[in-house]
Every structure is written in C-alpha cells, then in structure tokens.
Amino acid sequence: MHTYSLSLLLLALPAAAVEIEQRVDALLQRMTLGEKLGQMSQSNALRGGISPEVKAEIRKGRWGSFLNAGSFEDRAEAQRIALKESRLGIPLIFGRDVIHGYRTVFPIPLGQSASWDPELVAQAARIAARETAAMGIQWTFAPMLDIARDPRWGRIAESLGEDPYLASLLGAAMVRGFQGASLDAPDSIAACAKHYVGYGAAEGGRDYNTTWIPEAELRNVYLRSFQAARAAGVATFMSAFNNLNGIPTSGNVFTLRQVLRKEWGFDGFVVSDWNSVTQMIAHGYAGDAAEAAFKALRAGVDMEMNSTSYYDQLKSEVEAGKVDLKLIDEAVRNILRVKMRLGLFDKPVPTAPDNAAMFTAEGREVAKRLATESTVLLKNENRTLPLSKSIGKVAVIGPLADSPVDQMGCWVRDADPSEVRTPLAALKETLGAARVVYAPGLKVSRDVSRAGFAAALEAARAADAVLLFLGEEQSLSGEAHSRAFLDLPGAQEALVEEVARAGKPMVAVILAGRPLTFQKVTERAGAVLFAWHPGSMGGPALADLLFGDAVPSGKLTASFPRTVGQTPVYYNHMSTGRPPVPSDLGIKMGMPKDPAQDTAKYIDVDYTPEYPFGFGLSYTTFEYSNLRLSSPTAPMGGTLTVSAEVANSGAVEAEEIVQLYTRQLAASVTRPVRELKGYRRVRIKPGQKQTVEFTLRTADLAFYNERGQLVTEPGAFQVWVAPNSARGLRGEFRVTE
C-alpha cells in the first residue's frame, strides 16, 4: 500500500483502527522476507507436543500460526517463546476445529439450523468461544457456510442447510457468538467463514469434487451466506478445496480478490484449507509447488495451512523478480491486523487453563435447549407421542440408545464422552431404571449380525411401548465420509421388522449427520423423531420430548429425498418448461404428437421429496387462514405487508415457525419456484389464534442477473405464508416501476 493511500485510509478509520494500522505498518518495515513468509505459514507441528526443533523455529519466526496445537502447556510455551524470545515478538495464533462445541457439545450445525433460532445458535457459539479461549486457543475454523443440497456429501452435517437466507442468518449469529462484542475480549475467538466458496455443490456428493456454478447462481445462492458473515464482522475466511468452474478456489482471483476484497471490502486474512495450495498441482492448475504458491498468493490466500510452498518457494521467486514483494506485504499486513485486533500482542501468556469455564451449568442448559429445538417430528400417527409417564415399562432398543461418541457427531476432538447424557441414561432418570428394558439389538449402526435380535424382541414383548434409537454412527458423516446410499446402514431395518412382531406401539428416534431414507421404519413406527447428532445433552432433550415435558418445534433445513436417486433435491429449484405435478407418476402411453404427459418426473418414484424443506410436526395442530396483503401492488423501493392468521386447533401450547415465501413469475433470468424471505416463531395456546405479519420490501426480491448486477425487476409475484415449503396460503402481487 502506498503512503498516500494509507494516509487516506487512516483518516477514515476510528482511533483504535488507526493505531493498529500504524503498528502493523511499522512492524512490517522491520521484518525480513523470511519472517514475513513465516507469518504466512501455519503448521501442525505441535500436534504431538513442542519439540526442541519447533522451539528453535518459533524463535526465528518460522511460523505465524499452529493448528491442532498440542496441550495447553505446549501452546503457552510456544507463545512465550514467540513473544519473548523471537526477534520481533510477534505472537502466534492457535487455530482449532471448534465446529459445534469445544468441551460442551451442541447439536451438529445441520441440527442447530433446524431450530431456526439465531439467538440460541449465537449463545451456543458464545459458550464454545469461552471454553476454547480458556484453553489458549484464539481461532476456530467455523462457521461452515457452504450451501448443501446433496445429502450424500458427508459435510452436509457441518452445514446450515440448503437455503441461503436462513444460512445467512444463522451463520452471522455464529460469528457474533464466537467473536463477542470485541475480538480482544478474554473470552472471544476469531471466527473463520469456510469453505469459500461453492464446496457444497461437489459433483456426485463426493467430498473435494469439482463444482460448476454459473456466476448468477454463485451470487444468488452460494455467496450470500459468506457475504452475511462478512457483514457480521467475521475475522477470517478459509479458501476451499474444490475446483470452481475450472479454477481451484485457493487460486481463484475472482472470488478472493474481486468479490471478497474489492466488492465486500474484507480486510481480515484468508487461510487456505489443509494443503489446498499444493493440491492445485493435482487439480492440474499448477505445474509445481512454486507455481501453486504464486497462484495462491496472487489470488489472495494470505496464510498457507500445513503445506509449505510459501516458505519454501516464494523467497527465491521474489529474488528472481517473479513475485512482487507487495503481494507478500499485503498478506502479512492482513495477518498482523487480525492478530492485533485479537489483542495478542498485548495479552499476557496464560499460565493455566480456566477449567471453571468448561461444561458449565449454563452450557449444559443451552445444549439441552438447542437439542430440543433442533429435533424434528416427522410422523405422529394417532398421537403416539407424547408417551404418558404413567406407562408401565418401555423397551429401549437400537445401537444409538447408549452411545456417547456417536451422539456427539463429527468434529468433537476436545469433548469428554463421559460427560455425554445418552437417551438410555435420561430415560432411566425419567422413569426409574426398573421401568426401562434395554436391548441394543445391534452393536453399532453398521452391524449386520442378528445375534441380538432375540433379546430385543423379548424386551419389546415385556414392555408397553418400544423406543427405537436408530441412524448413523459418528464415523459415517463429516469430512471425507460421503455415502452413495442413504438408507439406514447395517441390519437396522431388519431389527425394526423383528421388534414389530411384538405388536407394541413403536417410536423411532433417528440420530444422524445427514438426511436419510427410512420409509420401512416410518411404515412400522407410530411416530418418528429426527434428532440429528444432538450433542452432550441429547438424551435429556429427547426424554423431555418423548414424555411431553417439551413439544417439538424443529423444522427441516434440508429436504429429505424419497430415494438416493433423487439427489440433489432441494426446495428452491427452478421450474422447467414441462413441470410435473405430484401425481404425475409412471409410464404414460401417449403419442409423440400429444406430449402432455411428458414432464420433468421420474417414472418409478414421485419427484417430490419425502419431507420438504421447512417441514416439522408438533404435538398440536396449526391451521392457517385469512391471508392478507396490504396492497395488490408495491412500487419499486416500497414495502408490502403480508399477514395470515395461525390458530392452535389442538390441545397443547406450542411454538410454530411460520414461513414466508415468494416467487417471481417472469424475470430476465429464471427464478426459483419458491424462496424463503422471512419467518416468525410464535407460541400459541390451545384454542387461540394469532395474526402473523411480515413486512416485505421490494429490495428483498432482488437477485443477481446474468451480468452480475443486483437488481429488483418489476413484474408479477406469488407469495405464501406457510408451515413449510410445499404448502401454505398463496397470494399474488405486482412490483411496479
């Protein structure tokens, strides 16, 4: 940055920011090229403890950051050396994958999103930040903001679902929770918006795979949640693994420099994903490590995670005149700026972890509330649920009834399984151990042995109701855990068939890291609860739901396919020129001259999802009526009020998530058949009715056209106030010039 432009920048900044920029610039002028490249390098070398070799490297400024960085004592010693024994005293920044909790484990992010509760999600991230900071870690690689439309992809577990509007709200809430009111507060950590960008659109649902996303789709769907994180003040971004439209995202000038830096004005730093700089060689985008380093630096990746091409290659490239030193200075400036915002230069090195911050009563309460709000009721035939506490005995059956590790889900490296409250333990506490008959039936979810079936059937026959805990174990979801089939693994369906022979009422509780297909189980069970991987307090949350101490309110944020052959399936798709209708099934015997039955369908399964986005039942029923629009037209730049009455026609007080959708019927580029534009959580007592009102701005209807311009276009619109994306009251309006 030239002196003149820096001076103009400083004039526009508040005093604290001016001081940071001045300190960064002064420090940068004192740094050698080797020290600069060290700041741009992140190592995994502390994973097994701090060796004499690593200590020596820290003293000479070899590393700017460590991830997976050993024990608290290792981190404290490494930081002490960096601050006190290195030439310039530049602190290290320690990163960790704190995805849905550190010691207190909250539901997986996909589960959290089913709560539709940004404030509760923010509370969970705040608690995770306190625990993380107490252990001398200042940076988390979260939130993951990839829009995920394919449940085969293992990392859908880390996502906030398929809708960019909701993912934006929840992602921004996570950023606020992690970073708190001020980044330099003792209990705040830097958040990292990942994986930038388009990673969730991997072909075939296979992790790390290629993505092809037109620019309009990229801006309308995949960039929106990242832009919301930027607006929330996220400190860092992470470039993704994937090849995006022929250019790997860790070398993508358009996404990193044009969009992130120029359009959004981001001034934090960008870290690569693990080895994603040198993996551009395997992509076929770089011929060797030197070219990979240059292309990543040119694109705007400031810090290289794990691989060492920056440090190994860029010094000679600068000396040979192949790389402009200004690019390196810019990257280092971005890194130092974030370290100063975190207060790392001024904070004392911690001497002991703050164990009082770990697994607190407050954390457990938030974890339980979030697990409760995340659970989605998919079926409740003849009011099977809630069960009466006066019931005699219940049979608890299934491989996930008492499996703490599996209940936590993926990315839980720092949790203590002994602190996890399982459904079995919680049910024994609710009913008393004598009224709970436990027979797992299968050892793990993938078990194909039927050796435990007889005991499970005996337990069912001895009970008044059967609670089945089924789904996926921890190891089946997350990074590099894509699945080609989405059914319940192992012999779980056979176990359900066997237990059904007892003829007792059955409730299926499914714990998983992704949407699954389980129609045979649904046919057998009177009720189905989908609990995701619910975390530390999943057991007590489920016990409350099963026995009516809590009422389900969760709504799906990812569509559930009827079969894996439908994937990807998502609600906000485009129409076709020959749209199908739900009953349009089977082979039609028409003639070529009469193609009325030739529609965008399958001939062997309904094209609609098994459970649509936004779906979720309650222990009561809600009736929607009296849709009203404040006007049939809205002038450009104006607003429209949309309202409907929602009545609780059942016998239980409960919360309903009332959703607002729109569709533009014709535009310069085709628009989705529905788009979520808002929602309200309302609590309604039995027999009562509430008017739920939304304010819809014409700006809320804007989209990016084929030229990359954000526009609102006049025309005809449909609007729904709805319980989910497949139903609702429909109205119409026009936006006028």
Contact predicate 410/533, CB 8 Å: yes
Contact predicate 584/603, CB 8 Å: no
Told to judge if 402 belongs to the known catalytic residues of this protein, a careful annotator would answer no
DSSP string, 62-105: --SEEES---HHHHHHHHHHHHHTSSS-PPPEEEE--SS-SSSP
* Spatial CA neighbour of 577 closest among 661, 670, 675: 670
Question: Helices 361-374 and 118-133: crossing angle, nearest 10°?
Answer: 140
- How many CB atoms are located within 10 Å of the residue 280 CB? 27
* Spatial CA neighbour of 242 closest among 226, 225, 255: 255
Diameter over CA atoms, the chain: 83
Q: Report how far residue 121's alpha carbon sits from residue 255's, in angstroms, rounded to the nearest whole number.
A: 28
Q: Report how far residue 644's alpha carbon sits from residue 722's, in angstroms, rounded to the nearest whole number.
A: 9
- The amino acid that residue 440 corresponds to is P
- DSSP H or E stretch at residue 112: helix 109-113
Contact predicate 528/379, CB 8 Å: yes
Q: What angle do CA 511, 517, 521 make, to 5 degrees?
A: 75
Question: What's 276's DSSP letter?
Answer: T
DSSP string, 382-439: GG--SPPTT-S-EEEESTTSS-HHHHH-SS-TT--GGG---HHHHHHHHH-GGGEEEE
Chain Cα centroid distance, residue 45: 28
Contact predicate 649/621, CB 8 Å: yes
Q: What are phi and psi of 228, to 5 degrees?
A: -65, -40
With H, G, I as helix, E, B as strand and everything else as coil, classify residue 373.
helix
Contact predicate 330/68, CB 8 Å: no
* Spatial CA neighbour of 405 closest among 481, 489, 472, 355: 472
Half-sphere exposure of 363 (CA within 13 A, CB side): 24
- 273, 302, 402, 584: the active-site residue: 273
- The amino acid that residue 727 corresponds to is R
With H, G, I as helix, E, B as strand and everything else as coil, classify residue 396.
strand
Q: Report how far residue 211's alpha carbon sits from residue 595's, in angstroms, rounded to the nearest whole number.
A: 34
Contact predicate 110/558, CB 8 Å: yes
Q: Report how far residue 412's alpha carbon sits from residue 414's, in angstroms, rounded to the nearest whole number.
A: 6
Question: What's 220's DSSP letter?
Answer: I
Q: Report how far residue 228's alpha carbon sits from residue 116's, in angstroms, rounded to the nearest whole number.
A: 16
- The amino acid that residue 428 corresponds to is K
Q: Report how far residue 641's alpha carbon sits from residue 632's, in angstroms, rounded to the nearest whole number.
A: 10
Q: Report how far residue 150's alpha carbon sits from residue 255's, in angstroms, rounded to the nearest whole number.
A: 23
Q: Report how far residue 557's alpha carbon sits from residue 570's, in angstroms, rounded to the nearest whole number.
A: 10
Q: Which two tokens stand for residue 697?
A: 């701005």
Contact predicate 198/242, CB 8 Å: yes
Q: Report how far residue 277's alpha carbon sits from residue 408's, in angstroms, rounded to the nearest whole number.
A: 31
Strands (E), 493-629: 506-511, 527-530, 622-629
- How many CB atoms are located within 10 Å of the residue 133 CB? 23
Per residue, what are the HEC states of 295-338? HHHHHCCCEEECCCHHHHHHHHHHHCCCCCHHHHHHHHHHHHHH
Residues identified as active-site: 273
